Structure 1
Amino acid sequence: MLLPSKVTICEVAPRDGFQAEQEWIPTKQKLEIIKALATTGIQSMEITSFVHPKAIPQLKDASEVVERSQDLTNIRFRALVPNARGAERAIKAGIKKIKLMLSATDSHSISNANCTVEEAQNNHMSTIELAHRHNIKVGGSISVAFGCPYEGKVPIDRLISIVDRYNRQGVYEVSLADTTGMADPVQVYETLGVLKSLFPQTTFTMHFHNTRGMALANVFAALQQGVLDFDSSIAGLGGCPYAPGASGNVATEDLIHMLERMGIETGVDLEQVILVAKETQKLIGHDGGSYMLQAGPCSALSLKPTGQQKIGK
């Protein structure tokens, strides 16, 4: 079986993880988590989203978070932006890469962005032009790419159309997001097979949620198609406020553990990530179902000699 020897993990807890929290996380504590993550070897982070504060109150401090993280030069930051106004705020704060917000279906798009998919794509052009004027990198995204809670399974033709439009707009990096955990490994493998054959110049990144316990299996299917970039969130935090039943992302510590067991390099210190995840879990008061926070890594198991066990005295 041919699998990649190395992959890149983008930590999304400061955006996707925090946005799902109802109780306000003070800016100082967000920054402490971001700075702690920067010591683990993680090289990429989706640090926040420049949506309207009324839409996601938890991220109303987006500009301050970015501005106060500029000293972390060992990590590449990106931010999710819904429109040109959000991009302007992101660029002013110091972001060097933006990710466009887009849904695969009209129902989710209307709920999430108050416009249809086509309208959102039309609006992207002004954002992309603004980014290019400021020498800012642009990535695209497709939420509910593998299944929509309102419309069900997304036809492959819809994804082809969206990626084609992205390419025509000059965007050649596209994140496929399983926003509500509806994907299965066969679907992921087959979908990527089609998209990679039609768009060989496009880099596909994967954003899996573990709503139904299949995120790691879906990662494996994507690895088999040669995908090298994955989003994840410490402690399995996350969820889309505009997708019924959405739950956390695949946990960063679980993803690293699986990849390391398979001999795939991430460049990230698993023990350090687990420590940060535990501290974040204490701060927020819960996790999203992280296996490492429950059982710990296999390497932590003590090897005891086998033999007959006596019960009682």
Structure 2
Amino acid sequence: MTRHPSLVLPPSVDIREVGMRDGLQLEKPIPTTAKLRLLEAIVASGVRRVEATSFVSPRAVPALADADAVAAELTRWPGIRFSALVANVRGAVRAIDAGVAHLEYVISASDSHSKANAGRTTAEATAVIGDIAGEAHRAGGELEVIVGVAWDCPFDGRTPPQRVLDIVTSAVRQGADRLCLGDTIGTTTPIRMLALLDAVRTACPDVEVGIHLHDTRGTGQANALAAVLAGVRQLDASVGGLGGCPFAPGASGNIATEELVYWLEESGVDTGLELSRVLSAASVAEHAVGHELTSSLLRLVPTSPSWNPEL
């Protein structure tokens, strides 16, 4: 694909598939066997990073109560960097004991969301980053700190940027290896997204910063384009647009992996993913959860095997 001279796009980006965790956490629990079929389809798409599950209380998130069973099967795909989300040190130990050493830890930038999501204030959640990072590092893994409601909170409104900066600087000081900014309720816009991204990069210049986007108001892919143009190389997405936060009223799913792959590959940016296989994985996901997913591109998939996604 010929690149437009006014667009400075990178040769490649790295997409993390989060459908197995963020995508399923709001759904009714599905059998582990169905999750593994979905995971097999996701891996077949060519993705290199997968957030496989979450080691949190099964009472809080019953859809992910089988985290240990899912983790036990991950050795079937040795070429994939699997990670898991944890909510505390206890969850980190559980994940590592189950064989997953690469961890993600979400800290909500607003106290109201943090209390709803984790039962503690932002400061209390931030205080244990070093302990979780230590567990990950001792197991040979890494810790990524994800800042939730980085732009807007469903309870408190717009998030002051300084709250995000306080979290990320503390996270790096305590040993976090990566950072990610989450538009948990899908309300930010490209200019607001870039302003916070620039501030975080200035505060933490030596740490990779990724973006986790939702598509509640239809700006998710526009935000992704703006992030890529600004130099972001780590993007989260979910097959079919699955997802949402159980503690964020009104939030929709993640940006759809197939839509992200479509415009990136059409723009000459290598993702390593094969669009037809991502669409197949999205179809598997739709069948597993038993309802139509939000992805516009998925709606275009015809029954004919000769369909050409480039047309």
Q: TM-score by structure 2 length?
A: 0.93
Query: 1:2: Cα distance to partner?
Result: 1.6
Gaps of at least 5 residues in structure 1 are 303-313
Q: Is contact 2:213–2:237 with CA below 8 Å preserved after alignment?
A: yes
Q: Is contact 1:11–1:44 with CA below 8 Å preserved after alignment?
A: yes
Q: Is contact 1:176–1:207 with CA below 8 Å preserved after alignment?
A: yes
Residues 39-78 of structure 1 mapped to structure 2, 5 A cutoff = 39-78=44-83
Q: CA offsets per residue over residues 147-190 of structure 1, 9 Å max, x none? A: 11111111111111111101110113111110110110111112
Which amino acid is 2:86 matched to? V
Query: Structure 1 residue aligned with 2:15, among 4, 9, 16?
Result: 9
Query: Structure 2 residue aligned with 1:18, among 16, 24, 39?
Result: 24
Q: CA offsets per residue over residues 34-73 of structure 1, 9 Å max, x none? A: 1121111000000000001111011110011011121211
Query: 1:94: Cα distance to partner?
Result: 0.7
The answer for the alignment partner of 1:187 in structure 2 is 192
Q: Is contact 1:236–1:287 with CA below 8 Å preserved after alignment?
A: no
Q: Is contact 2:211–2:236 with CA below 8 Å preserved after alignment?
A: yes
Query: Structure 2 residue aligned with 1:108, among 110, 113, 123?
Result: 113
Q: Based on CA coordinates, which of the two structures has the bigger radius of gyration?
A: 1
The answer for the alignment partner of 1:266 in structure 2 is 271
Q: CA offsets per residue over residues 203-241 of structure 1, 9 Å max, x none? A: 111110011110000001111210001000001000000
Q: SS where residue 46 of structure 1 aligns?
A: strand
Q: Does structure 1 residue 167 correspond to structure 2 residue 166? A: no
Q: Distance in 2 between matches of 1:273 and 1:264?
A: 16
Q: Does structure 1 residue 219 correspond to structure 2 residue 224? A: yes
Which amino acid is 2:13 matched to? V
Query: 1:299: Cα distance to partner?
Result: 4.7
Q: Bigger relative contact order, structure 1 or 2, given CA contacts below 8 A and separation 6+?
A: 2
Query: Structure 1 residue aligned with 2:124, among 119, 128, 140?
Result: 119
Q: Distance in 2 between matches of 1:193 and 1:224?
A: 13
Q: Is contact 1:173–1:202 with CA below 8 Å preserved after alignment?
A: yes
Identity %: 40
Q: Distance in 1 between matches of 2:150 and 2:103?
A: 19
Q: Distance in 2 between matches of 1:129 and 1:69?
A: 23
- Alpha-carbon distance change, 301 to 91 in structure 1, aligned in 2, over 3 angstroms: closer
Q: CA offsets per residue over residues 111-170 of structure 1, 9 Å max, x none? A: 000000000111222222222222221111101111111111111111111111011101
Q: What CA RMSD, in Å, does the superposition of the two structures yield over aligned residues?
A: 1.5
Q: SS where residue 5 of structure 1 aligns?
A: coil
- Alpha-carbon distance change, 299 to 262 in structure 1, aligned in 2, over 3 angstroms: farther
Q: SS where residue 110 of structure 1 aligns?
A: helix
Q: Does structure 1 residue 278 correspond to structure 2 residue 278? A: no
The answer for the alignment partner of 2:212 in structure 1 is 207
125-134 vs 137-146, greater mean Cα deviation: 125-134
- Alpha-carbon distance change, 18 to 152 in structure 1, aligned in 2, over 3 angstroms: same
Q: Distance in 2 between matches of 1:204 and 1:126?
A: 21
Q: Distance in 2 between matches of 1:46 and 1:287?
A: 22
